Amino acid sequence: MEQVWCKVDEYITDKLIPTDDVLEQALSKNKQAGLPEIDVSPAQGKMLYLLAKTKGARRILEIGTLGGYSTIWLARALEEDGELITLEAVSQHVEIAQQNINRAGLAERVTILQGKALDTLPQLKERDTLPFDLIFIDADKPNNPNYLKWALDFSKKGTVIIADNVVRNGSVIHAADQDERVKGTREFFDLLKQEPRIEATAIQTVGEKGYDGFVYGIVK
């Protein structure tokens, strides 16, 4: 089946996602630098962009920048005077992402904060960017429950919270799995279930990035 998923992704990309030098160059620069190819796919990137547009987002928070591929999609959706803050732990990723973002002409709207997100998130309290309109969680999966708590603190009524990679080939249903990523994802779902401040769903996806899924939630 995986081959069909990839072919269909190619078909969708060909029909609906115009060739884009900036985004393609970002991916090739990432590859050249040896970054893992775990960015969102073009179709997913455009979905993030459309969701941010639907929301009319002025302030976006991203946790997990990598080379800035999803960052560029999201930042392009910002309303005029909007801004995006993205958090990344690995200095090499920050460097590559900054170059990709500069090339995209988005340097003024995007700020990358280097450091472990659990260290940089508290710093956001001192900025005048709170609350966010949209928060994209896409970093180390064991910390997803912590990221959700921070995201809720940085939200207002109507804030959209999206979390990537919540299905991971179906591993999410393996209760006895000792993998910290699986445990983190399951705790994330448990927290969503009991958390009165958010209504959420999760959608399974297939495509060039395999079989996975994302959580979409709105803060009450």
For the bound state, the minimum distance from the C-beta of residue 43 to ligand SAH, rounded and expressed in Å, comes to 12
**CA atoms within a 13 Å half-sphere pointing along the CA-CB vector of 151:** 35
Q: Distances from the Cα of 10 to the Cαs of 41, 42, 44, 69, 220, in angstroms?
A: 10, 9, 12, 18, 37
206 lies in the binding site for ligand DHB (CB under 6 A) = no
**One of 165, 182, 184, 215 touching ligand DHB (CB under 6 A):** 165
For the bound state, the minimum distance from the C-beta of residue 38 to Mg ion, rounded and expressed in Å, comes to 6
9 lies in the binding site for ligand DHB (CB under 6 A) = no
The β-bridge relationship of strands 110-114 and 83-88 is: parallel
Amino acid at 41: S
List the beta strands (DSSP E) in 26-109.
59-63, 83-88
Sign of CA pseudo-dihedral 44, 45, 50, 55? positive
x-or-dash string of contact with ligand DHB, 110-139, rule CB under 6 A: ----------------------------x-
For the bound state, the minimum distance from the C-beta of residue 132 to Mg ion, rounded and expressed in Å, comes to 18
**Which of 62, 72, 59 has its CA nearest to residue 20?**
72
Instruction: Tell me which stretch binds ligand SAH (CB under 6 A): 37-45, 104-112, 177-185, 210-218.
Output: 37-45
Interacting residues with ligand SAH between 143 and 202 (CB under 6 A): none
For the bound state, the minimum distance from the C-beta of residue 16 to ligand DHB, rounded and expressed in Å, comes to 21
Q: Give the position of tokens 């500069």.
A: 102
Judged by the rule CB under 6 A, the positions of this chain that interact with ligand DHB are 38, 64, 138, 164-165
